[in-house]
Amino acid sequence: MIPQFQHQQASSFVLWFDNYLLTKGRAFTNTTGDFVHYSDERVPSVYTPFGSKYKQWVCDSSISGATIPSGVYVNGAFVGRAVGADNSTSAQILDFDNGRVLLSGVATGASVTGSYAAKEFNVYYSNETEEDLLIENRFRPQSKIGTDLEFNYPAPYDQVVPAAYVCNASFKNTPFAFGGMQKTTTNFNTIVVAENPYQVDGVLSLFADSANQSFVDVPFDDFPFTEYGDLKSGLYDYEALKTRYANDNKYFIERVKTSKIADKPRKSLVNDLYIGFVDFDVSIMRYPR
- 47 vs 61: CA distance, rounded Å: 26
Q: What is the pLDDT of residues 118-160, one digit of tens each?
A: 999 999 998 877 777 776 667 788 888 866 555 677 888 888 9
Beta bridge partners of 81: none
Q: Give me the number of domains the chain comprises.
A: 1
The segment with the largest mean pLDDT, out of 70-79, 88-97, 199-208, 215-224, is: 199-208
Q: Which DSSP symbol is given to 154?
A: P
Q: Which residue from 181, 138, 136, 180 is spatially nearest to 161, judged by alpha carbons? A: 138
- Cα-trace Rg, the chain: 20
pLDDT for residue 9 is more than 50? yes
Q: What is the pLDDT of residues 44-75, one digit of tens each?
A: 999 999 999 999 999 999 999 999 999 999 99
Q: What mean pLDDT is predicted for residues 239-264?
A: 90
Beta bridge partners of 190: 166, 278
The predicted structure's pLDDT at residue 3: 79
Q: What mean pLDDT is predicted for residues 242-264?
A: 90
- 33 vs 116: CA distance, rounded Å: 9
The predicted structure's pLDDT at residue 62: 97
The predicted structure's pLDDT at residue 267: 66
pLDDT for residue 235 is more than 60? yes
The predicted structure's pLDDT at residue 136: 64
SS3 11: helix
pLDDT range class, residue 83, cuts 50, 70, 90 = low
- 285 vs 247: CA distance, rounded Å: 15
Range of the domain at 37: 5-286
CA separation (Å) from 222 to 8, 43, 115, 161, 242? Answer: 10, 24, 27, 28, 12
- Cβ(49)–Cβ(39) below 8 Å: yes
